[in-house]
Structure 1
Amino acid sequence: MNRAEFNQFCATFPAAEHVVQWGNSDVWKAGGKLFAVCGWADGDDAFTFKAGEIAFEVLQERPGVRPAPYLASRGMKWLQQFAKDGLSDEELRDCITLSYQMVTAGLSKKKRTALGIPDPAPKT
């Protein structure tokens, strides 16, 4: 996935907002909450996303994936794919989708409704 594909994919989420900040990074938010970032690592695109507890532990062991600088160092479960040998495009899209779902699940029902964000799937 390249930066243009990343931005195109993130734009498909309901109420997704794009801003450029932090040294020309593409930052995606929903309801004012961060769910994905594309910046640079050694000249390559680097993709950052929120992860669940298990995914955070497992995926950081993959080549090209690490705890996200700044975010993970503050105790948050965020990962960054910083090299091309990391996740496949499909896996990266799945991780970004889960990040969006986790972030928007934390919004109030009233805010989700106002923004047109679907209710989170019930836990099974």
Structure 2
Amino acid sequence: MTPKTFDAAAMALPGATMTVQWGDNHVYKVGGKMFAVLGGAIGGKGFSLKTSDVAFEVLSETGQAVPAPYLARAKWLYFEDLADQDKAEVIDWLKTAHGLIAAKLTKKVRAGLGF
């Protein structure tokens, strides 16, 4: 998967926004809350995202990802190289991450975003 495809998939989600933070990382948000980050420690090739409890356990135990620094307690995973990932799988993870964060927004914020 390419960074351009990742960006397009994340920005296609309802109410998604992107800011550049922490150097040149692309931080994707819904309702002002992060759901994914593109860029990382290894030459900017990695990405992190919010996962379900089950996905967090499975993906970290199989070695496909590692708990994200500073965000592991919130069930975020870090993947070292975006290019090594299956496009359909990453898009599905983005949808899940977006949904998990959007579900925690207040009714007022969700209504403002059209949910």
User: TM-score scaled to structure 2, two decimals?
Assistant: 0.89
Deviations 1:11-58 (A, max 9, x none): 101111110001210000010110110013322511111011111010
Q: CA separation of 1:60/1:46 partners in 2, compared to 1, >3 Å: closer, same or farther?
A: same
What percent of counterpart residues are identical? 39
Structure 2 matches for 1:67-86, cutoff 5 A? 67-72=67-72, 75-83=73-81
Aligned to 1:116: 114
Match of 1:96 among 86, 90, 94: 94
Structure 1: segments with no counterpart, 5+ residues: 118-124
Matches within 5 A, 1:54-73: 54-72=54-72
Q: How many residues align?
A: 115
Q: How far apart, CA to CA, are the structure 2 residues paired with 1:13 and 1:85?
A: 21
Q: How far has the Cα of 1:64 moved from its partner?
A: 4.2
Q: Distance in 1 between matches of 2:69 and 2:60?
A: 12
1-structure distance, mates of 2:44, 2:103: 31
SS across alignment from 1:28:
strand
Q: Hey, what's the Cα distance between the residues in 2 that align with 1:97 and 1:88?
A: 14
User: Gapped runs of 5+ residues in structure 2?
Assistant: none
Question: Which protein is bigger by CA-based radius of gyration?
Answer: 1
| Structure 1 length-normalised TM | 0.83
More deviation, 17-26/1-10: 1-10
Return the alpha-carbon distance in structure 2 between the equivalents of residues 87 and 5 of structure 1.
12
Task: State the SS of the aligned residue for 2:61.
Answer: coil
